[in-house]
Amino acid sequence: MSVTSENKFQTGLMLELEPVVAKELDRHLAIAKEWFPHQYVPWSIGRDYDGPMEGEAWSVEQSQVSPESRDSLIVNLLTEDNLPGYHRAIASVFGRDGAWGTWVNRWTAEENRHGIVIRDYLTVTRAVDPIALERARMHHMEAGYEATHGTEFLHGAAYVSFQELATRVAHRNTGKVSGDPVCERMLSRVAADENLHMIFYRNLIGAALEVAPNETMRAITEVVTQFEMPGTSIDGFMRKSVVIANAGIYDLRLHHDDVLVPVLRKLGVFDRTDLTGDGAKARDELGQFMEQLDAAATKFETRREERRARKAARQG
């Protein structure tokens, strides 16, 4: 397709899907429970920091959460913090008119709540170094955010379907390994929101599959095979993601089993009978990719088990 006919196609599709957005928005507003970040933060254990308040500076032994969860909490928070970048990316894909615009703004407001509650929790409990955190936030936001999937509507919608579920898994597992029930409760609350976001986008991409099966299938395949979590521009992202994977907070196995497979199954991509030409080809490519990913996940798990066993033997 030429650029103009591609644009026409995307605009036409979005117009056709606007009633779906309106319906999904209503459904979201009906089931999303109002909640308040300040109620999830243990303010009574807080005390002043150094600087103008002349309190006590942060040091690592004050942190009561596990070291793995510290890395993950930082990555998760910086990802939530970069919201203006995502808002711009999503608004430029979805536009700001009608139900699309209403959704984008609502979504942004909810994501902001996540950043608020995680930062308040981290600062009050002294879970992470607040100075390093602030410097990392500045650096990360100054780097900005450019979507790897470009500005095409189908790619954008497919990407967020998987990404929201990925953040849900990451938040929930971070809570579990944190060793702090207050942290776990707070992150479970955030994870519940991410699940609703995932459902919104997944239903949208499901409707797109009905309207334009082949093009939507191609977009899904491209997004899945090139998937990158947001946050790759965070300082030390590689090292942090290794820690996160080794701790089982987010790894290839979870990415395959708990993120990609459930969304693809719900969309029924492997059972569809309406794919032809490039759409059918895209599905075959996706099938192959999923097999390779499954094998890579198993390999990763085996290596991780071996490393853990060696470590246990050394310590035993």
Amino acid, single-letter form, for residue 306: E
Min dist. Cβ of residue 196 to Fe ion (A): 8
| Contact pattern for Fe ion over residues 55 through 94, marking x by CB under 5 A | ----------------------------------------
Residues 191-250 that bind Fe ion (CB under 5 A): 194, 197
| From 52-60, 114-122, 139-147, 199-207, span contacting Fe ion (CB under 5 A) | 114-122
Interface with Fe ion, residue 120, by CB under 5 A: no
**Contacting Fe ion (CB under 5 A), which of 70, 114, 253, 283?**
114
Amino acid, single-letter form, for residue 108: T
DSSP 271: T
What is the Cα–Cα distance from 8 to 168, expressed in whole angstroms?
34
* Among the listed residues 209, 55, 70, the one whose alpha carbon sits nearest the alpha carbon of residue 127: 70
| From 116-124, 187-195, 211-219, 293-301, span contacting Fe ion (CB under 5 A) | 187-195
Which three-class secondary structure state does DSSP give residue 191? helix
**Burial of residue 235 (number of CB atoms within 10 Å: 0-12, 13-18, 19+):** middle
- Total residues interacting with Fe ion, rule: CB under 5 A: 5
| Contact pattern for Fe ion over residues 164 through 183, marking x by CB under 5 A | x-------------------
* Among the listed residues 51, 58, 66, the one whose alpha carbon sits nearest the alpha carbon of residue 123: 58
Min dist. Cβ of residue 75 to Fe ion (A): 12
Interface with Fe ion, residue 111, by CB under 5 A: yes
The set of residues, in sequence order, having a beta carbon less than 8 Å from that of 248 and lying 6+ positions away, is: 173, 177, 254
For Fe ion, the binding residues (CB under 5 A) are: 111, 114, 164, 194, 197
